[in-house]
Amino acid sequence: MSIVKLARPEIQAMRAYEAAIQVDDTVRLNANESPQISPIGNFRRPLNRYPEVRPQELQKGLAARFGCAAEQLLVTRGSSEAIDLLIRTFCEAGRDSIVTPTPSFSMYWHYARIQGAAVIEVPTLVDNDFIIDMDAVLAACTENSRLVFVCSPNNPTGAPLPRADVVRLLEGRDKRSAVVVDEAYVEFGDQESVIDLINDYPNLLVLRTLSKALGFAGARCGAVAGSVDIINLLSAVQSPYALATPVVECVEDALQTEQLALADQAVENIINERQRLMTAVSAYDFVHQVWPSEANFFLARFADAEAVMQRCEENNVLLRHFGGDLADCIRITVGSPSDNDQLLRALDTLVGS
Ligand SMILES: Cc1ncc(COP(=O)(O)O)c(C=O)c1O
């Protein structure tokens, strides 16, 4: 059963933008492009031409990497763009809502606010390693809750969402909400991606990114995977030519076997460093708690988080402090061994103060 009917009616009625056709070895006088080829850059495709409306090879490559069919995936400008597209596609301003556990990735709030959609927040269980209270999430949904965002492993807590809970949420919301599982950090954890479930659950959408495990945050490339009818809707909403030629070529290169092997090795190194850093940070007496993490960061509670932020900044180390319910917590990204050593040296200066 498709969930297309959950989308805004005007989006359901929309057709994709009809771009000028692009055929190799033709005289192309149909897109108001310049005939002049700039010498700038060293790209396989000429920059005087628009890129493909949707980059086909990249779509196939990312689908193969993430484990779905090419037509089940839309390439986006970072997974951030996918969040924006989903909220604009499904939520009518002033009427619909998204539901999300808290704390979580702030972009869900950000794009919901831009679209005029309400955000229903469901606190995670802080005393139980911030796990998501699925009963509470299901109970919080209303008939206008179009999207439920769950992030696994969650940012900023690092807590994973068990596959069985994802299935419970999918079945609990069935054709009443789309369930968006944000897997930005999945490569750093023990759990498999749930992307295979898109074949069984038409209300599942999975977000993936190249910004974390693959190390390409600067390329701005991500993807959303789901049933073909929803992917087609999202594609109709996305700007034509969304992915620039330099980005397309850079990511095509990043998906080559040797590059993927390097990225996998980098993930392994980060996981090892995460363990070393968490153990070292836990040992300071001004650190009250370090939560387990399946991501490339972890959250720690400090006696005086502001003093830690300031001292680290004085030592050229930037950490992330959120305030609110997490006012005494700091999120620490796992860096290179030398980055992490620099952090530990900065923390050493607080010992006994
Ligand atoms: C949970 C989560 N989802 C999505 C993103 C967005 O990533 P990008 O837009 O770089 O793909 C981030 C970035 O930090 C994130 O933490």
Same domain for 208 and 287, yes or no, is no
Same domain for 243 and 314, yes or no, is no
Q: Which domain holds residue 338?
A: 259-348
Residue 3 burial (10 A CB sphere; 0-12, 13-18, 19+): buried
**Which among 107, 98, 89 has a CA at the least distance from the CA of 230?**
89
Q: Is 353 among the domain residues?
A: no
Residue 81 burial (10 A CB sphere; 0-12, 13-18, 19+): buried
Same domain for 76 and 131, yes or no, is yes
Same domain for 233 and 297, yes or no, is no
What pLDDT sits at residue 15? 86
| Counted domains in the chain | 2
- Give 37's DSSP letter: P
Q: Which helix (H) or strand (E) holds 265?
A: helix 257-282
Report the CATH number that the domain containing residue 338 is assigned in CATH.
Answer: 3.90.1150.10
Q: CA 184 → CA 171, 192, 206, 295, distances in Å?
A: 23, 13, 10, 9
Report the CATH number that the domain containing residue 168 is assigned in CATH.
Answer: 3.40.640.10
Same domain for 87 and 217, yes or no, is yes
Shortest-distance Cα residue to atom 12 of ligand 1? 184
How many Å lie between the centroid of ligand 1 and the Cα of residue 206?
Answer: 13
Ligand 1 pocket, 80 CB below 6 A? yes
Q: How many CB atoms lie within 10 A of CB 72?
A: 22
Are 90 and 96 spatial neighbours (Cβ–Cβ below 8 Å)? Answer: yes
pTM more than 0.95: yes
In tens, the pLDDT along 70-85 reads 999 999 999 999 999 9
What pLDDT sits at residue 41? 84
- Is the torsion defined by CA of 54, 60, 61, 63 positive or negative? positive
Q: Which helix (H) or strand (E) holds 248?
A: helix 245-254
Ligand 1 pocket, 78 CB below 6 A? yes
Same domain for 222 and 267, yes or no, is no
Same domain for 161 and 54, yes or no, is yes
Same domain for 11 and 144, yes or no, is yes
Ligand 1 pocket, 222 CB below 6 A? yes
Ligand 1 pocket, 296 CB below 6 A? no
What pLDDT sits at residue 114? 98
Among the candidates 230, 255, 280, a domain finishes at 255
Ligand 1 pocket, 79 CB below 6 A? yes
**Which among 76, 80, 70, 62 has a CA at the least distance from the CA of 260?**
62
**Which among 225, 213, 218, 214 has a CA at the least distance from the CA of 246?**
218
Decide the pairing of beta strands 178-182 and 145-151. Answer: parallel
Same domain for 63 and 199, yes or no, is yes
Task: Return the C-alpha torsion angle 105, 110, 116, 121, nearest 10.
Answer: 30
Ligand 1 pocket, 182 CB below 6 A? yes
Shortest-distance atom of ligand 1 to CA 79: 11
Q: Where are the alpha helices (DSSP H) in 54-95?
A: 56-66, 78-90
Same domain for 300 and 248, yes or no, is no
What pLDDT sits at residue 38? 87
> Hey, is 145 helix, strand or coil?
strand
Same domain for 112 and 238, yes or no, is yes
Helix 257-282 and helix 245-254, axial crossing angle in degrees, nearest 10 = 80
Ligand 1 mutation target, pool 76, 81, 84, 105, most atoms within 8 A of CB: 105
Among the candidates 255, 278, 293, a domain finishes at 255
Q: Which helix (H) or strand (E) holds 137?
A: helix 134-140
What pLDDT sits at residue 352? 84
Among the candidates 227, 255, 283, a domain finishes at 255
The stretches in the chain having pLDDT less than 70 are none
What pLDDT sits at residue 40? 87
Same domain for 208 and 125, yes or no, is yes
